[in-house]
Amino acid sequence: MVLTIIILTFISSAVLTFAIRYIANEKELLDHPNARSSHTVATPKGGGLAIMLSFYTVLILLFFNSNIDEKLFFALLSGLPILMISLIDDLYPLSSKLRFGVQLSSAAAALYFLGGVSTFNFGIFSLHGSWLNIIAIVGIVWITNLYNFLDGIDGYAASEALFVGITAYLLFESEIALYLAIASAGFLLFNWHKASIFMGDVGSAPLGFIFAIFIVYDSGSSHFLDWLMLLSLFWFDATYTLLRRAKRKEKLSEAHKKHAYQRLTQTGLSHSNVVLLAMALNTIIFFSLYLLPQAIHLYLFVLLIVVLYMINRYIDSLKAFK
């Protein structure tokens, strides 16, 4: 059953991506280069819709076959408004306030379906209290947006989804994460450097939301810290860059190319080389989680933050943060 779903999900995602690329070219729905872009030619966008259509089809199939927790199903379904508003935004740019309002509403709805949050489990200690619901909502909205921020070079966002989904399945048998990975793989065929189609907000924002829901769903289990570590390259880069820009009193809503992965491409590395380096680091993180006992994962988490900070400082020496 699992293998059949994997094959069908991959095929449907690839076929849908091909079809969306064709339509986008015919209708001239193109992403034109701007100050923040890492591409130089107009390229079709909206390919992330193929990922989402394939994923949500599997999600509904699992629900009607009683193969998914009902709470998780409706929490993930709460991301559909984000999918819709992001699709519209890809076609006709909308105000950031409207998009934020939809994201906040989806986060609140998801948290309601999950029954709220009462615990963040860090292994050797836990945080408890209803106040964690506020942190959870902020976290869901932030991860939704930061995944969009990190979708700036060919193949990066889709490769991250592919990696995290597969490793989540290997570490804690999350079938739904595996199917998300396979849906991303079908799109990645067309998004690897040089990409013939981009993901667009319709793919990146819902992907961030879905991963955020996985994290919150497992907030009370030992998987919570592992999810954070598997996604660490994305949230650390986005958060650290935001804090640095805020410290410099920059206008945070303005487009920029200061994320670590963007500055690496500015040193002359190709998109594919930067993605492969990131996935190599991800692989080290995965094997550390897989081989080392759960009892020391918090220490591993702290070490990872230090390593990511040092990597960012090294990138500063290659391409200044300015």
User: Residue 133's pLDDT is what?
Assistant: 97
User: Residue 248's pLDDT is what?
Assistant: 92
List pLDDT tens digits, range 22-48: 999 998 888 887 656 666 688 999 999
Q: Is residue 235 over pLDDT 70?
A: yes
251 Cβ neighbours under 8 A, 6+ residues apart: none
Separation of alpha carbons 237 and 274, rounded Å? 14
With cut-offs at 50, 70 and 90, classify the pLDDT of residue 300: very high
User: Residue 223's pLDDT is what?
Assistant: 96
Q: How many residues does the chain have?
A: 322
List pLDDT tens digits, range 266-295: 999 999 999 999 999 999 999 999 999 999
Separation of alpha carbons 174 and 227, rounded Å? 11
Spell out the alpha helix ranges (H) of 65-200: 70-77, 80-91, 96-113, 132-149, 156-172, 175-191
Separation of alpha carbons 306 and 9, rounded Å? 38
Q: Is residue 252 over pLDDT 90?
A: no
Separation of alpha carbons 83 and 234, rounded Å? 20
Q: What angle do CA 221, 121, 300 make, to 5 degrees?
A: 100
List pLDDT tens digits, range 175-233: 999 999 999 999 999 999 999 999 999 999 999 999 999 999 999 999 999 999 999 99
Separation of alpha carbons 248 and 254, rounded Å? 13
Amino acid at 15: V
Beta partners for 30? Answer: 44
Contact in structure between 193 and 90 (CB atoms under 8 Å): no
268, burial (CB in 10 Å: exposed 0-12, middle 13-18, buried 19+): exposed
Separation of alpha carbons 103 and 206, rounded Å? 10
Contact in structure between 200 and 90 (CB atoms under 8 Å): yes
Residue 252 — φ and ψ, nearest 5°? -70, -20
Contact in structure between 229 and 304 (CB atoms under 8 Å): yes
> How many C-beta atoms lie closer than 10 Å to residue 134's C-beta?
12
Contact in structure between 44 and 30 (CB atoms under 8 Å): yes
Mean pLDDT of the chain: 95
User: Residue 38's pLDDT is what?
Assistant: 66
Q: Whole-prediction pTM value?
A: 0.96
Residue 189 — φ and ψ, nearest 5°? -55, -35
**235 Cα distance to chain centroid:** 9
With cut-offs at 50, 70 and 90, classify the pLDDT of residue 310: very high
List pLDDT tens digits, range 129-164: 999 999 999 999 999 999 999 999 999 999 999 999
DSSP 8-state assignment for residue 31? E
Amino acid at 225: L
Nearest to 198 by CA among 54, 33, 30: 30
Contact in structure between 237 and 244 (CB atoms under 8 Å): no
> How many C-beta atoms lie closer than 10 Å to residue 42's C-beta?
12
Q: What 3-state class would DSSP assign to 119?
A: strand
